[in-house]
Chain A
């Protein structure tokens, strides 16, 4: 066995660690241990000087194993691995001891915390001795992309990719492309025509030689891994097999079912309609009540099905501005009518939105407020002697007054929900959903379009309620991400995977049942299991389940884990 020359670096993390752990004592104490060539402490190990120190030490002292005792590996493992690489060492000859989250942040006794730091480092030192060099691998990327959902988000992504010369398969379960935007008249906040916008885009997609549109079809299950996916869809009653390197999920929104809020009498009172139905009224060009009269006063109620624990706790984000759009359209269509906007909070973030609110609030509109959590308005049919169709009764929030508002027509600003079949879609492409059944992105801030499954992206309203500009930006961002992978030609894949030792494997196939990524398959001829290392994420489940010990989880081998435990326990006597 080669000589182990280990360098240990204890980080202060400013005062984050140093305040609770005697870092200097720990570092100097470790020098006594066998195989440790250098042991140092430093204020910020992750800083450039900190990393440079490690690199210089590797070169000067010929180190071949490095342990950094600092924060969580989630934070800086990659940073230090890169430093090792820069110094010419295999990046996997590295181990991190977490003495911040696991130690200084959670303890109050300095002596004990210091001892714990020492033990954690000793464990890491024992483990790193058994580390092996691992080589990064990559697989080629299929340049085609599958897009599920032909709304504005799916369409935008498709055009972006196809215009860059890449093949796109666009799957739409309805008979037409366009999604919700096709159902709109004008769009907030600038009141431009939805039809002009979407018709033009749909035509572009249909005519594009690199976009193959599959209408009336759905995707059930996708197989494969980033760069090399495949699926079979039913199109025109025929099974069609598609191969592609990336997936964009753009399945969009489902409007909230207004009849669930019984207060509003939707379905029972004919002149209570949803925002989507009102879009159709606007498209038809004449605003009339169900009995064919021009409404004298029109009320709009916000947050229908949103921001209320009985329905959906979240804000649907667009309906406030859509309501103001309606107000403006109503004002020009029915100049004499009174418009009553009953809202809870006016959410007007985003370009042009506060301006729209500001302009609209200067027009003759009656803005009333209600409590979206407790006191939802109650709508009832007006009596014969009332000069209106409907009466909306509620406690006005700003004034605290119980009031009755006469109205001839009420528009319900229904929120956005995920589709009923969101779960099947999530399962089919291997992504997860949040509690509100929207698809989850990889990181809410730093990686808002990718998912935890490499090669699968979520865009538009299936990821969270949003307006058209946000849907489009997300779609184009995903397309750009995909183009970047295609341009790279290959994607690097997980190195710390599982590996079956065919000589020991008994073919029981236990591992196949437990693998959450379906990465293991059974070979009939050899009568043993084999891990597809491109799909394997290195979760270790199979390794711990295999009854014969045939599976080795690279970088977390039995000997590495056992040594780490040994190291952890070894120093009781020394101090």
Chain B
């Protein structure tokens, strides 16, 4: 069956950061240079072609953009300056909005104003809730003030209350993320009638897991040598972020204590290391994006900046909160705590299911689905190792 060409697909992708990159003449240089190319995956040439041709259906079920590590080799060596790597990134953003069944993602990508307004509105809601459910450490009420003169945080904003909010939020996020992943699975695996996937097949990709989660091995083949630093810092950032996220959602009672522990206490050490991870990461990515000194930082969509800015303010308020707490400034601690929540919550609620952050979830799943698909295709082949031409 012939697929009807969608003449507006390319324009649609402009929302997600693509530009007038029409130059591609399908030379295949990018495929040759791409370190993720394997038999059957015409990386990223085929994907670029789908965009230029307006093959919307093919593009929506395409998994390749998630496999791209954004090393930039293809863009650097493309003879027509067609920016295949950034095209892949734009398609990722597009796919995030495709997987998001609520359609909210798309609205955010479409409109900067809407995203910013939502962040502000959410911040205000958080502020109002905070003001209602917590109490200001006024001078006379000595019960707010600890022996060191600092705020007794759990009196001011009891961890139980915060936890409740956390759980509600995490629940909603998990629900959205799971349903989106399900939709992704539906589009990529289930809807592809040519694939016959048995239950056992779903277990097979795990055998390759180690290889899947170690992109550093793959970067070794790339031209860009700065990528190792990039990968290490990216991993450090993600790990720090993940750690803090887990602590806040699951171990807030251990983390948010009224007693100020000595400097070398695990609570403080862990906090400091994660904070360093975030700070170094933010500075590194900020400089990269402003200096545009690597292929993968040449183009920045506004959602890339939003994420970075929210992360920056979350970290900054987190650090200040800690400082004010330690140096016994209860009123400032109270305000900073509020500000911290005011950036943290929108960052999680908007970025996790609907925007940049979600790549942290989609990418592992995409790798998993891609390998699943590949293994199933290989299994069904009568002639082994023949490349797939469509």
Query: Do A and B originate from a single complex?
Result: yes
Question: Footprint of B on A, CB under 8 Å?
Answer: 297, 338, 340, 346, 358, 361-369, 393, 396, 398-406
The segment from B52-60, B219-227, B244-252, B352-360 that touches chain A is: B52-60
C-alpha gap A3/B118 in the complex (Å) = 115
Determine the chain B residues whose CB is within 8 A of the CB of A405 once the complex forms.
Answer: 5
20 A-B pairs (CB sep. < 8 Å): A362-B20, A362-B23, A366-B22, A366-B54, A367-B22, A367-B52, A369-B26, A393-B2, A396-B53, A399-B49, A399-B55, A400-B389, A400-B390, A401-B55, A401-B390, A403-B2, A403-B5, A403-B53, A404-B5, A406-B4
B19 and chain A: residue at smallest CB distance: A362
Bound form: Cα–Cα A250–B46 in Å = 47
> Which residue on A lies nearest to B389, using beta carbons?
A400
- With contacts A364-B20, A398-B49, A401-B53 known, is A338 near B390, CB below 8 A? no
What distance in Å separates the Cβ of B199 from its nearest Cβ neighbour in chain A? Answer: 32
The distance in angstroms between the C-alpha atoms of A403 and B55, with both chains bound, is 9
Complex alpha-carbon distance, A399 and B46, angstroms: 7
Contact of B7 among A338, A362, A363, A402 (CB under 8 A): A338
B18 to chain A, nearest CB (A): 11
B10 within 8 A of A: yes
Q: Which of A358, A367, A400 has the most CB of B within 10 A?
A: A367
- Complex Cα–Cα for A226 and B2 (A): 62
Residues on B with C-beta less than 8 A from A363 are 20, 22
Q: Are A406 and B22 in contact (CB under 8 A)?
A: no
- Which residue of B has the minimal Cβ distance to A386? B4
Contact B22 A404 (CB under 8 A): no
Residues of A within 8 A of B203 (CB): none
Q: Does B31 lie at the interface of the complex (its beta carbon under 8 Å from any beta carbon of A)?
A: no
B50 within 8 A of A: yes
A404 touches B54 (CB 8 A): no
Complex Cα gap A399–B171 (Å): 43
Interchain CB contact under 8 A, B7 and A366: yes
Chain B residues near A398 (CB, 8 Å)?
26, 49
Please state if B20 and A366 are interface contacts (CB–CB under 8 Å): no
- A402 near B1: Cβ-Cβ < 8 Å: yes
- In the complex, what residue of chain A is closest to B27 when comparing beta carbons? A398
Write out the residue numbers on chain B whose beta carbons fall within 8 Å of the beta carbon of A338: 7-8
Contact (A401, B58) CB under 8 Å given A362-B23, A366-B53, A367-B22: yes
- B3: interface (CB < 8 Å): yes
Contacts of A400 in B (CB 8 A): 389-390
User: In the complex, are the beta carbons of A404 and B7 less than 8 A apart?
Assistant: no
Contact B53 A404 (CB under 8 A): no
Cβ–Cβ < 8 Å partners of A396 in chain B? 53
Q: What residues of B have a CB within 8 angstroms of the CB of A364 in the complex?
A: 10-11, 20, 22
- Of the candidates A367, A393, A398, the one having the most CB atoms from chain B within 10 angstroms of its own CB is A398
- Chain A residues lying within 8 Å of B49, measured Cβ to Cβ, are 398-399
B80 on the interface (CB 8 Å rule)? yes
Q: A404 to B23, Cβ gap below 8 A?
A: no
B158 to chain A, nearest CB (A): 57
Decide: A399 near B7, CB < 8 A? Known: A361-B22, A363-B22, A393-B2. no
Q: A338 CA to B9 CA in the complex, in Å? A: 11
Q: How far is the CA of A364 from the CA of B23 in the complex (A)?
A: 10
| Given A362-B22, A366-B54, A401-B53, 18 extra CB contacts under 8 A | A338-B8, A346-B25, A361-B22, A361-B25, A362-B23, A363-B20, A364-B10, A364-B22, A366-B53, A367-B52, A399-B46, A399-B50, A399-B390, A402-B2, A403-B5, A404-B4, A406-B5, A406-B7
Q: Contact partner of B80 among A361, A365, A402, CB < 8 A? A: A361
Given A401-B390, A404-B3, do A366 and B50 touch, yes or no (CB 8 Å)?
A: no
Q: Which residue from chain B places its CB closest to the CB of A405 in the assembled complex?
A: B5
Q: How many residues of B contact A (CB 8 A)?
A: 25
Chain A: minimal CB distance from B19 (Å): 9
Number of A-B contacts (CB under 8 A): 66
In the bound complex, how far is the Cα of B1 from the Cα of A405, in angstroms? 13
Closest A residue to B54 using CB positions: A366
- Cβ of B40 to closest chain A Cβ, rounded Å: 14
Question: In angstroms, how far is the closest chain B Cβ from the Cβ of A326?
Answer: 16
Known: A366-B52, A366-B54, A368-B53. A402 touches B3 (CB 8 A): yes
CB distance from A383 to the nearest CB of B (A): 12
Residues from chain A with Cβ under 8 Å of B10 in the complex: 364, 366
Which residues on the B side are within 8 Å of A401 (C-beta)?
3, 53, 55, 58, 390
Cross-chain contact A361 with B23 (CB below 8 angstroms): yes
Task: Tell me the complex Cα distance, A366–B9, Å.
Answer: 11
| A405 vs B7: C-alpha distance when bound (angstroms) | 8
Residue numbers in B under 8 Å from A365 (CB-CB): 22
A404 to B8, CA, bound (A): 14
Task: List chain B residues, Cβ under 8 A from A393.
Answer: 2
Most buried by A among B25, B50, B80: B25
Interface centre among B25, B53, B80 (most CB of A within 10 A): B53
Considering the complex of A and B, which 8 residue pairs feature the smallest CB-CB distances, nearest first? A398-B26, A402-B2, A338-B7, A404-B2, A404-B4, A361-B23, A399-B49, A405-B5
Q: Chain B residues near A404: list those with CB within 8 A.
A: 2-5
Most chain B CB within a 10 A radius of its CB, from A338, A358, A363, A401: A401
Cα separation A402 to B1 with both chains bound (whole Å): 7
Looking at the assembled complex, report how far the CB atom of B390 sits from the nearest CB atom of chain A, in whole angstroms.
5
Q: Which residue of A lies closest to B7 (CB)?
A: A338
A345 to chain B: closest residue by CB: B25
CB distance from A402 to the nearest CB of B (A): 4
For B389, what are the chain A residues with a Cβ–Cβ distance below 8 Å? 400
What's the Cα separation between A358 and B46 when bound, in Å?
A: 21
Q: Return B253 CB to nearest CB of chain A, in Å.
A: 57
Question: Shortest beta-carbon distance, A287 to chain B, in Å?
Answer: 17
Instruction: Output the least CB separation between B214 and chain A (Å).
Output: 32
By beta carbon, the residue of chain A nearest B45 is A398
List of A residues within 8 angstroms of B23 by Cβ: 358, 361-362
In the complex, chain B residues whose CB is within 8 Å of the CB of A368? 53
A362 to B20, CA, bound (A): 6
Bound Cα distance from A362 to B83, whole angstroms? 12
CA–CA, A398 and B10, complex, Å: 18
B42's closest neighbor in chain A, by CB?
A399
Q: Report Cα–Cα, A93/B58, bound state, in Å.
A: 79
CA distance A326 to B5 in the complex (A): 22
Q: In the complex, what residue of chain B is closest to A392 when comparing beta carbons?
A: B5
A366 to B80 Cα, complex, angstroms: 16
**Smallest CB–CB gap between B177 and chain A, Å?**
33
* B8 / chain A contacts, CB cutoff of 8 Å: 338
Question: Given the complex of chains A and B, what is the CA–CA distance between A368 and B50 in angstroms?
Answer: 11
Q: Is B22 a contact partner of A399 (Cβ separation < 8 A)?
A: no
Which residues of the other chain, A, contact B11 by a CB distance below 8 angstroms? 364
In the assembled complex, the Cα of A338 lies from the Cα of B390 at a distance in Å of 26
Mask, B350-390, CB within 8 Å of A = 1, is 00000000000000000000000000000000000000011
Smallest CB separation, B386 vs chain A (Å): 15
- Report Cα–Cα, A398/B48, bound state, in Å: 11
Distance of B75 from chain A, by nearest CB (Å): 15
* Interchain CA distance A405-B9 in the complex, whole Å: 13
Residues of A within 8 A of B25 (CB): 346, 361, 367
Complex-state Cα separation, A364 to B8, whole angstroms: 11
In whole angstroms, how far apart are the Cα atoms of A368 and B5 in the complex? Answer: 11
Known: A401-B390, A402-B1, A403-B2. A297 touches B7 (CB 8 A): yes
| Closest residue of A by beta carbon distance from B26 | A398
Q: How far is the CB of A357 from chain B (nearest CB, A)?
A: 10
Nearest Cβ on chain A to B165's Cβ, whole angstroms: 47
Measured CB to CB, the closest approach of chain A to B142, in angstroms, equals 69
